[in-house]
Chains A and B, each alone.
Chain A
Amino acid sequence: MAEYTLQMNNIVKEYYGNRVLKGVSLKVKPGEIHALLGENGAGKSTLMNILFGMPVIHSTGGFEGEVLINDKPVLVKSPKEAMEQGIGMVHQEFMLVPGFTLTENIKLNREITKPNLVSTVFRNKNLETLDKAQMDKDARTALDKLGMNIDEWVKVQGLPVGHMQFIEIAREIDKLGIKLLVFDEPTAVLTESEAGNLIEAMQKLAATGISILFITHRLDEVMQAAQNITILRDGELVATRPVEETNVLELAELMVGRKVEVTQKEESNEDSILNKTVLSIKNLHVAMPGEEVKGIDLEIHQGEILGIGGLAGQGKIGIANGICGMYPSSGDVKLNGSPMKLNDTRYALQNGMSFVSEDRRGVGLLLDSSIEDNIVVTTMQIKGGFLKKFGPFTQADFPHIREHALKMIEDLDIRCTGPTQPTRRLSGGNQQKVCVARALTLEPDVLFVSEPTRGIDIGAKKLVLDLLVKLNKELGMTVIITSSELAELRAVCDRIAIVTEGKIEGILKPDAHDRDFGLMMAGEYHKVMKKSGEAIS
């Protein structure tokens, strides 16, 4: 038997000159459950894409380093080849046919057949009859391995979510010669008891000699299930630890870490923060698909920079979107002490709020319109600015628009050929500045900025963040930054609220311990505090 089922040595991957994996190594023994841990963007998905030979890897110039399966070097060029090598994947989203039975789903496209008259005459394997009995038997075996006592002839339709996950796994282990199973955040959609069952099933599988690679960000599950843990951060291998030698606190710390500081605020502007609440949010629910907010309480003080952080899909993005009326929301929000109308973008904009969307190209810009049109259009609609009035009729005031656009281009240092350039042709950072310019033109008291640095290069990142700090300092504007990049929040914010599973897990100072951030993002801060009882400073 081979020593290692899977070895990945010194994997380096670049996307258009941007290094996303910087020499990552990974070793998994037969029958081992190995956890892969990391924040969003740490490189977990890219590593798995390489393992499965996804087209996105090979169409962008391949990768460096070597992959060994059963101690033999292999070059996997497509997911099909990965399957032939005995690597299987259990997806986060279920890929099942609802109208089919368990057996049919498990055996889909790998049906067992026996010859019949027609197939013999036409010598065509596709015309053979299904061997139902044998298929049911195989399905039963696979289900039993997982300890599932549900009947194999039941249709998938209407089964609880937890069961569907198991059927996916059953399908993978029914494949002959399966050596390694990758679980991509399998517990994300499961309840706690379902997740417990899943982990038990994983342990049963591992006992039969199948290796398991377990991708997750739930730390307690890692401690419970895995034997070894590999932690990635920013495409780098931070550490590989046997589970006995580590604990939840250390894992949390390793996962977050101190990253390169983008901007450093010179001094805390605590003095300038009046202890006055601008926005008081109580029990806010926002039905934003994929970023649902499930009851948030938050007080936003005048003149502060508040960061909202957390992992993707936990609901941090939904907060700003909900308050600005982009998605259906409910709750009790007070603006300067008076109740605020929700689900009404116009109302929010008219009352001194402004919003820079996380979806720059989808929501933030009119891509085919000029920079100047983009900058003024919202103010024109909301406040009637930049217009000449002729009785009931209006005409855009082009000289005034041009003047304002030129000023914004200069103030924000937007690199362009001129105010009439279509925004589609600008780089990401400059597009972001146009979005900010549009929001500023409204002259807001409260500015919501979501993912301000997503998809823009380091230099532009710094400019955008500096700009936000400057606005806060010079104009006393209250700024709420939502970002997946904790490092940048810690660099510019006065307070950082961490959102987990649609709720505020806690609010931290930017200089709080890495470990606390890590625990909060994993949603285990309170659990750990309660359990250990020790004081976490």
Chain B
Amino acid sequence: MNEAIRDFTKKVGIPRLIISLFFIFLCFSSISLGLPFASLSSDTLRRFGMNGILVLAMIPSIQSGLGPNFGLPLGIICGILGSVLAIELGLVGAAGFWGAIIIAMPFAIGIGIAYGIMLNKIKGSEMLVATYTGFSIVSFMSIVWILIPLKHPEMVWPIGRGLRVTIALDSTFGNILNDFLRIDIGKFSIPTGLLLFFFAMCALIWIFNRSRMGIAMKASGDNPKFAIASGIDVDFYRIIGSVMSTTLASVGIIVYAQSYGFVQLYQAPLMMAFPAVAAVLIGGASARKAKISHVIIGTFLFQGLLTVALPVANEAIKVGNLSEVLRMIVQNGIILYALTKVGGES
């Protein structure tokens, strides 16, 4: 019996176990507090789908040996750029969504290559450098958003110059995936299109992982010296990892935006890397090893926790806007906890 328990905890991992138990505890409290469970669970599903691809972007980066991609804002910026250009071109509906992705792609690939080359020069301190690269690009783009000569009335400020802080997507491609084949059961709704798109992306990465390139990339991340001894160009595969991660991030933010209903500019992408990193780590990944199952489990737990924790906390402590403070504490607490696990367990 004892053996069995030990085996089980070893397989699942203590952090995942704790977070899962906490999640289940919150779910029960939400029911006992009389909160609307149907809407909470559809919220969880929606947030799972909208954040999933951003978390998936961690996979190529970890597998190629770059560690969790704290430079996620680089890809996010490309996605935002694609979105605003698609709106400017007057693309709406599905055309707007796919247009945004296609426009973002070349930016993401270009920046991914440059970023990969840079990371090859600073091997060993990727995580710190990536974090500050992310911060820098967000600040730089804050200037660009003001100076960029776009004219679409939904995006520019009515007076003055520059783009708005948030751009509504109601008239362009808001909820395009969420509403695709959506299933409603009472108050509970399943964003089928969103989930399908996320799982399709996972499948793409899964297929890549089984290809010659994917295996070479995993080997160079797992043990660079081994890879060199097998004639694998480690630096090349690190660049591939960076390009894939950046591209996935740009697609991820477009999916996120269509579900959220707004494109957020300026400082919004600043902190977006952290929840994504936390999710994949909670899912069981380490700084050197990550699988697609880690992404799916981690995103579900992390987003589920945030969705359920907030109303439960609100209900438990009914003072002013304490809930916002609590949300910050819970979210950053989880991130902090996950980051302590960065090294993995071996």
Chain A residues proximal to chain B, CB less than 8 Å:
324, 326, 345-346, 348-350, 355, 357, 359, 362-369, 373, 377-378, 380-382, 384, 387, 393-396, 424
Residues of chain A contacted by B218 (CB below 8 angstroms): 369
Given A363-B225, A366-B219, A369-B222, are A381 and B232 neighbors across the interface (CB < 8 Å)? yes
Provide the bound-state CA to CA distance between A367 and B232, in Å.
Answer: 17
Chain B 213-237 near chain A by CB (<8 Å), digits 1 or 0: 1011011001101101111110000
Residues of chain A contacted by B223 (CB below 8 angstroms): 362-363, 365-367
Chain B 282-301 near chain A by CB (<8 Å), digits 1 or 0: 00000001000000000000
26 A-B pairs, CB-CB below 8 angstroms? A326-B228, A345-B231, A346-B231, A346-B233, A357-B229, A362-B225, A363-B223, A366-B226, A368-B222, A368-B289, A368-B346, A369-B222, A377-B216, A377-B230, A378-B229, A378-B230, A378-B231, A380-B212, A381-B212, A381-B232, A384-B212, A393-B211, A394-B212, A395-B210, A396-B212, A424-B346
Provide the bound-state CA to CA distance between A422 and B219, in Å.
Answer: 14
Q: Which residue of B lies closest to A442 (CB)?
A: B230
Residues of chain A contacted by B226 (CB below 8 angstroms): 363-366
Q: B207 contacts A395, CB within 8 Å?
A: yes
Name the 6 nearest CB pairs between A and B, nearest first: A346-B231, A378-B230, A394-B212, A345-B231, A363-B225, A394-B211
Q: Which residue of B lies closest to A346 (CB)?
A: B231
Q: B211 contacts A396, CB within 8 Å?
A: yes
Residues of chain B contacted by A363 (CB below 8 angstroms): 223, 225-226, 229
Chain B residues proximal to chain A, CB less than 8 Å:
207, 210-213, 215-216, 218-219, 222-223, 225-226, 228-233, 289, 346
Task: Tell which of B210, B222, B231, B346 touches A381, judged by Cβ atoms closer than 8 Å.
Answer: B231
Provide the bound-state CA to CA distance between A348 and B229, in Å.
Answer: 10
Q: B211 contacts A395, CB within 8 Å?
A: yes
Provide the bound-state CA to CA distance between A346 and B230, in Å.
Answer: 7
Residues of chain A contacted by B289 (CB below 8 angstroms): 368
Residues of chain B contacted by A357 (CB below 8 angstroms): 229
Provide the bound-state CA to CA distance between A363 and B210, in Å.
Answer: 23
B interface majority secondary structure: helix
Residues of chain B contacted by A350 (CB below 8 angstroms): 231
Residues of chain A contacted by B231 (CB below 8 angstroms): 345-346, 348-350, 378, 381-382
Q: B228 contacts A345, CB within 8 Å?
A: yes
Given A367-B223, A395-B207, are A380 and B215 neighbors across the interface (CB < 8 Å)? yes
Q: A345 contacts B219, CB within 8 Å?
A: no
Provide the bound-state CA to CA distance between A216 and B171, in Å.
Answer: 83
Provide the bound-state CA to CA distance between A394 and B218, in Å.
Answer: 15
A-B contact count (CB 8 A): 70
Residues of chain A contacted by B346 (CB below 8 angstroms): 368, 424
Residues of chain B contacted by A424 (CB below 8 angstroms): 346
Task: Tell which of A326, A367, A394 touches B229, judged by Cβ atoms closer than 8 Å.
Answer: A326
Output the least CB separation between B216 and chain A (Å). Answer: 5
Q: Which residue of A lies closest to B223 (CB)?
A: A366
Residues of chain A contacted by B212 (CB below 8 angstroms): 380-381, 384, 387, 394, 396
Residues of chain A contacted by B225 (CB below 8 angstroms): 359, 362-363
Output the least CB separation between B23 and chain A (Å). Answer: 28
Q: Which residue of A lies closest to B207 (CB)?
A: A395
Provide the bound-state CA to CA distance between A396 and B218, in Å.
Answer: 13
Residues of chain A contacted by B230 (CB below 8 angstroms): 345, 349, 377-378, 381-382
Provide the bound-state CA to CA distance between A374 and B215, in Å.
Answer: 11
Provide the bound-state CA to CA distance between A384 and B213, in Å.
Answer: 11
Q: A396 contacts B229, CB within 8 Å?
A: no
Output the least CB separation between B247 and chain A (Å). Answer: 17
Q: A357-B229, A369-B219, A380-B212 are in contact. List 20 more A-B contacts (CB 8 A).
A: A345-B228, A345-B230, A346-B231, A349-B230, A359-B225, A363-B223, A363-B225, A363-B226, A367-B223, A368-B222, A368-B346, A369-B222, A373-B215, A377-B215, A380-B215, A381-B215, A384-B212, A395-B207, A395-B210, A396-B215
Residues of chain A contacted by B215 (CB below 8 angstroms): 373, 377, 380-381, 396
Q: B229 contacts A377, CB within 8 Å?
A: no
Residues of chain A contacted by B207 (CB below 8 angstroms): 395
Provide the bound-state CA to CA distance between A313 and B226, in Å.
Answer: 22
Provide the bound-state CA to CA distance between A382 and B230, in Å.
Answer: 8
Q: Which residue of B lies closest to A369 (CB)?
A: B222
Output the least CB separation between A442 and chain B (Å). Answer: 9
Output the least CB separation between B263 and chain A (Å). Answer: 33
Output the least CB separation between A446 and chain B (Å). Answer: 15
Provide the bound-state CA to CA distance between A373 and B207, in Å.
Answer: 16
**Residue of A324, A363, A365 with most partner-chain B CB within 10 A:** A363
Provide the bound-state CA to CA distance between A346 and B210, in Å.
Answer: 21
**Residue of A324, A349, A395 with most partner-chain B CB within 10 A:** A395
Residues of chain B contacted by A345 (CB below 8 angstroms): 228-231
Given A355-B229, A366-B226, are A396 and B210 neighbors across the interface (CB < 8 Å)? yes
Q: Which residue of A lies closest to B229 (CB)?
A: A363
Provide the bound-state CA to CA distance between A424 and B223, in Å.
Answer: 13
Output the least CB separation between A390 and chain B (Å). Answer: 9
Q: Which residue of A lies closest to B286 (CB)?
A: A368
Residues of chain B contacted by A348 (CB below 8 angstroms): 231
Q: Which residue of A lies closest to B344 (CB)?
A: A368
Provide the bound-state CA to CA distance between A364 and B223, in Å.
Answer: 9
Q: Which residue of A lies closest to B208 (CB)?
A: A393
Task: Tell which of A366, A380, A382 touches B222, judged by Cβ atoms closer than 8 Å.
Answer: A366
Provide the bound-state CA to CA distance between A377 and B226, in Å.
Answer: 10
Q: Which residue of B lies closest to A396 (CB)?
A: B210
Q: Which residue of B lies closest to A355 (CB)?
A: B229
Residues of chain A contacted by B232 (CB below 8 angstroms): 381
Provide the bound-state CA to CA distance between A349 and B216, in Å.
Answer: 15
Provide the bound-state CA to CA distance between A369 and B220, in Å.
Answer: 12
